[in-house]
Structure 1
Amino acid sequence: MIARLRGQLLDKRPPTVVVEAAGVGYEVDTPLSTLESLPEIGAEVTLHTHLSVRDDGHALFGFRSRSERDLFRRLIRVSGVGPKLALALLSGVDGEELVRCVRDDDPKRLTQVPGVGRKTAERLVVELRDRLEQELAVLPGKPAAPAEGEAAPAGGDALEEAVEGLVALGYKQPEAARMARAVAEPGLGCEALIRRALQRAAPRGG
């Protein structure tokens, strides 16, 4: 099991980053909350990781903190929730809000995440209630988001990469393109575009 990865950040293409450690480039899928906390390409990063082993291959997932990784591991233990859906949940609903949904018995908010239907959302709230006892008292920390005017990552257009990131999180291509274009502004980086698109997709009030 790979539990921790430290090395040079080589690439960021949401939701995937590449980290080089000891001469090996590791492709790591991360939630948007972790992507927003990462430094510029070329800097050293440390990720708390979870290795998923399946018949069709291995996948490595990385998180800014152990508490976020632990929350991911609790999610994938819920019936019907795999790593990809858990990643989408942590990108569409940050750790604090997810815990709030469980505490307040509010599955409706979770249904705004692509791939989460009403029954899955209700099952998440029920099954996580007992597993999140500690998180209900001590919520995972949330780092400050980067400035929205930050430049797009090297190696591609921010709008195009934002669309790809939304597709990877479960949205259909036409919907992802519409969501990204609706919030696009000159100078916005990829992560900021995705964050704005997800916030805009969230329900207002209630």
Structure 2
Amino acid sequence: MFNSLTGVVTGKFPQKLFIETNGIEWDVTVPDTSLEKIPSVGIKGRVFVWMQHTENLMSLFGFATENERALFFDLLKVDGIGPKGAVKIMSNISVAALAEILDSGDVDALKKVPGVGPKTAGKIILSLKGKLSFVSNEKISSAVRKNNAYSDVIDALVSMGYDRAKAEDAVSKISSELQSDEKFSLLSQNAKEDSVFKKSILELAR
């Protein structure tokens, strides 16, 4: 079984992604919140996948990160939630927010997620509170992006097809190195971002 697909994005629609690899165009169901992190049409990107294969059906589900896929698998453990239901839930709330809700057992917050009623919320909390299977660095990543002065630079690198975690590391390294540069400190914010962007590309190309 394959772990991921890397190719050129050929189409992005609500909860759906088309990606072409070696002449084959794949039709992948993707949560909307995950779809936002995948490169734009015409740009090379990577999507982590899982295939549902039954007697009458074969469907491919995709995610921008391994943590998103892991959370998807966790939701499938809940009685009554199938792949499409999990995608619907994940399309309406970020992975970081959903992971925090599940870890804290906040039923009231979970009930506010579209498509999750009181009964389903109770089942999800009972099944997953304190039992999420992945290391939640997604929440750390979210906090980094929120407080990072160069979040736009990171987003630009991701749109070019670079892995977000690697882009964050490169931007963090470059911006830290430039803090001691007196000429850099005198630049406008736009000029600083442009400089960090160019140097980060060189860093990522190594």
Query: Which TM-score tier does this pair reach, normalised by the shorter chain?
Result: 0.5 to 0.7
2:34 aligned counterpart, secondary structure:
helix
Give yes or no for the alignment of 1:94 onto 2:94.
Answer: yes
TM-score by length of 1: 0.63
Q: Counterparts of 1:134 and 1:61 in 2: how far apart (Å)?
A: 18
Shift of 1:139: 3.4
Give yes or no for the alignment of 1:63 onto 2:63.
Answer: yes
Query: Unmatched 5+ residue regions in structure 1?
Result: 147-206
Quickly say closer, same or farther: Cα 1:134–1:71, change in 2 above 3 A: closer
Quickly say closer, same or farther: Cα 1:61–1:134, change in 2 above 3 A: closer
2:19 aligned counterpart, secondary structure:
strand
Bigger drift between 106-115 and 27-36 goes to: 106-115
Quickly say closer, same or farther: Cα 1:84–1:23, change in 2 above 3 A: same
Which stretches of structure 1, 4 residues or more, deviate above 2 A after TM superposition? 108-115, 133-146
Written as runs of structure 1 = structure 2, the 5 A alignment for 1:50-199 is 50-132=50-132, 135=135, 139=139, 141-142=141-142
Give yes or no for the alignment of 1:2 onto 2:13.
Answer: no
TM-score by length of 2: 0.63
Shift of 1:33: 2.0
2:102–2:130 CA contact under 8 A, matched in 1? no
Quickly say closer, same or farther: Cα 1:136–1:67, change in 2 above 3 A: closer
1:100–1:136 CA contact under 8 A, matched in 2? no
Quickly say closer, same or farther: Cα 1:24–1:134, change in 2 above 3 A: closer
Identical residues among aligned pairs (%): 29
Aligned to 1:35: 35
Relative contact order (alpha carbons < 8 A, sep ≥ 6): 1 or 2 greater? Answer: 1
Which of the pair has more CA radius of gyration?
2
Give the superposed CA RMSD. 2.4
Q: Counterparts of 1:27 and 1:137 in 2: how far apart (Å)?
A: 28
Q: Counterparts of 2:136 and 2:3 in 1: how far apart (Å)?
A: 24
Quickly say closer, same or farther: Cα 1:63–1:140, change in 2 above 3 A: farther
Aligned residue pairs: how many?
Answer: 146
1:7–1:21 CA contact under 8 A, matched in 2? yes
Aligned to 2:15: 15
Q: Counterparts of 1:12 and 1:137 in 2: how far apart (Å)?
A: 26
Q: Counterparts of 2:23 and 2:136 in 1: how far apart (Å)?
A: 40
Quickly say closer, same or farther: Cα 1:122–1:30, change in 2 above 3 A: same
Shift of 1:133: 6.3
One-letter code of the match for 2:63? F
